[in-house]
Amino acid sequence: MRKLVVTACLSLAVAGLFTQLSSAAFTGSLAAPSNGITADALHNYFSVSPGPDVQPGTSTAVASGNVDGLSIDLGTVPSARTFSNVFRITNVSSATRTATLNLSSVPQVASAVFASSGSTSVALPAGASTTLAVTTSTTVAGRGVGTFRLGLSGTSWLYRDYSFHVDEAPEAPGAPTGVQKPAGRIDLSWGASTTTTNLAGYDIYRASGGGAYTKLTATPQLALTYSDTATVDGTAYTYKINAVSSGTPVLSSLDSTTVTVTADATPPGQAISITLTNGGGNGGVYVNSGNSSSISIAVALPAGSLTTDVVQLTATLGGTVTTTRAGSAGAGTVNFNGINVSGLGDGGLTLSVISTDLAGNVSSVRTVTVTKDTTAPGAPTAAYTDNNNTADVVSGTAEANASISVTKTAPAPTAGYSTSANGAGAYSVAVAIENGKPNTPISVTYTVTATDAAGNTSSASTLSFNDTH
């Protein structure tokens, strides 16, 4: 049986070499029907039409074409935003269909979703439609070029790829602040842009007097601070900051808010005078043991002084004590009270005053020197001379040129007497007449102190004597 089949096949093959076979040879008909092939396509399920979203600052639609050939170009986006109606997709089939989307290689886009579902797939009943919503990134700047794929869920081959383009500028930096500094310098600072990828840095712009802005930075800087030293004293400057992208093209953010600062290169005027107002001793010009823990200084300031100025008083003598007060409104006097210089040495105490304005400009210094002497004289020596029917005498030695105070404490009534030691320290002073007798002496008591020129007073020497004359 196997042999017969092979023979028959061979016979047919040989016959085919000499005969042109037609379809009729197999169908038994002289005419063969045509064969039809149905090709499926995405447009059999969805239609796509551009939405009303336009490129920022223009009237150009961000999408063009249809489901078979669509391109999406968001243009230059100066700040992250959502394009909520890039295109509309409609189910044109007779059954519910699920559309899918995928955007690749565009980190400048934070999300691309169907508006009605908020995701990358949406089930659309027959005739239903939704829109594409695209949100650009707040952290990634620069040019983004990629492929947007729209497909039919459940198939791996029913899709279309569309071109996608966006130029995303960095986000604007935070609001700048400006601070006056010495010599007219103005220091700026601002908050960082939220853009962290493809950020080249920041450009600083300045305007004055209502004029146009001029860029101060030759290239973008990464720092969040800038010092403007090319200023004119008394001129008000307005600043704004832009964040700038790296790569090509270079994209600049929206302007930051502005800040206006006036350059100040003028220092306050020098203090007119410095006066010790609670001095002790001769002439009331000494710092002594009685006031050294709480001296009072009056500083006279010139016209042009401001209450925003800081007036600094420094006392120097083997160390320093510094204190500050607010300045006066124009010419006036600032009082420094309760200054403790007891920890400084004795000698020439230097008092110096400077004024500093808000910008940090410092006046020239005004200086005076006062004598600080807190060392009291030693207790004086004292002797009593008993005279008959005339004033008795107290005499002795003390610090040269010291003021001598002699006080009778007995017998009553008390009485006081004073004199001065000479250059050699000797003193003598007539005191009360006491007429005692040998058999009935009178007990007399005196205390004696010495006070130096600075007003320091010695400890008391006590002199007790029996008056017999």
- In order, the DSSP letters of 330-347 are SSEEEEEEEE--TTS-SE
Same topology, domains 177-262 and 383-467? Answer is yes
Look at the domain 273-372 and name its fold. Answer: Immunoglobulin-like (2.60.40)
* Nearest CA-CA partner of 281 in 421, 400, 452: 452
**Residues 143/167, Cβ–Cβ less than 8 Å:** yes
Please give the structure tokens belonging to residue 98. 């699920």
**Residues 170/192, Cβ–Cβ less than 8 Å:** no
CA 290 from chain centre, in angstroms, equals: 46
Residue 385 carries which side chain, given as an amino acid letter?
T
Q: What angle do CA 180, 186, 191 make, to 5 degrees?
A: 100
Query: How much is the CA Rg of the chain, to the nearest whole Å?
Result: 52
CB crowding 400-434: b at 16 or more within 10 Å, else e: eebbbbbbbeeeeeeeebebebeeebebebbbbeb
Distances in Å between the alpha carbon of 97 and those of 45, 49, 106, 366?
7, 18, 27, 90
Q: What is the pLDDT of residue 439?
A: 87
Distances in Å between the alpha carbon of 285 and those of 93, 134, 321, 374?
107, 82, 19, 13
Q: CB neighbours of 153 closer than 8 A, spacing ≥ 6?
A: 97, 98, 99, 100, 121
Around Cβ 305, how many Cβ atoms within 10 Å? 25
Query: How far is residue 14's CA from residue 228's CA, in Å, rounded to a whole number?
Result: 101
Q: What is the pLDDT of residue 31?
A: 53
Burial of 34 by CB count in 10 Å (0-12 exposed, 13-18 middle, 19+ buried)? exposed
Domain edges within the chain = 42-168, 177-262, 273-372, 383-467
User: Domain 42-168 is of which CATH architecture?
Assistant: Sandwich (2.60)
CA atoms within 13 A on the CB side of 273: 8
Q: What is the pLDDT of residue 438?
A: 86
Q: What is the pLDDT of residue 35?
A: 53
Question: Which stretches does DSSP call E strand in 117-272?
Answer: 121-124, 129-136, 142-152, 159-168, 177-180, 186-189, 199-208, 214-215, 225-228, 236-245, 259-262
Please give the structure tokens belonging to residue 424. 């050699």
Largest Cα–Cα separation, the chain: 189
Q: Which CATH superfamily is domain 177-262 in?
A: Immunoglobulins (2.60.40.10)
CB crowding 249-278: b at 16 or more within 10 Å, else e: eebbbeebeebebbbbbebbbebeebbbee
Q: CB neighbours of 459 closer than 8 A, spacing ≥ 6?
A: 376, 379, 449
pLDDT, one tens digit for every residue, the chain (469 residues): 333 333 333 333 333 333 333 333 333 445 545 555 557 899 999 999 999 999 999 999 999 999 999 999 999 999 999 999 999 999 999 999 999 999 999 999 999 999 999 999 999 999 999 999 999 999 999 999 999 999 999 999 999 999 999 999 999 999 999 999 999 999 999 999 999 999 999 999 999 998 999 999 999 999 999 999 999 999 999 999 999 999 999 999 999 999 999 999 999 999 999 999 999 999 999 999 999 999 999 999 999 999 999 999 999 999 999 999 999 999 999 999 999 999 999 999 999 999 999 999 999 999 999 999 999 999 999 999 999 889 999 999 999 999 999 999 999 999 999 999 999 999 999 999 998 888 889 999 999 999 999 999 999 999 999 988 8
pTM: 0.75
Distances in Å between the alpha carbon of 69 and those of 50, 51, 87, 160?
11, 15, 13, 8
* Nearest CA-CA partner of 222 in 250, 190, 176, 259: 190
Query: How far is residue 81's CA from residue 241's CA, in Å, rounded to a whole number?
Result: 20
User: Domain 383-467 is of which CATH architecture?
Assistant: Sandwich (2.60)
Question: Which stretches does DSSP call E strand in 294-339?
Answer: 295-301, 310-316, 320-326, 332-339
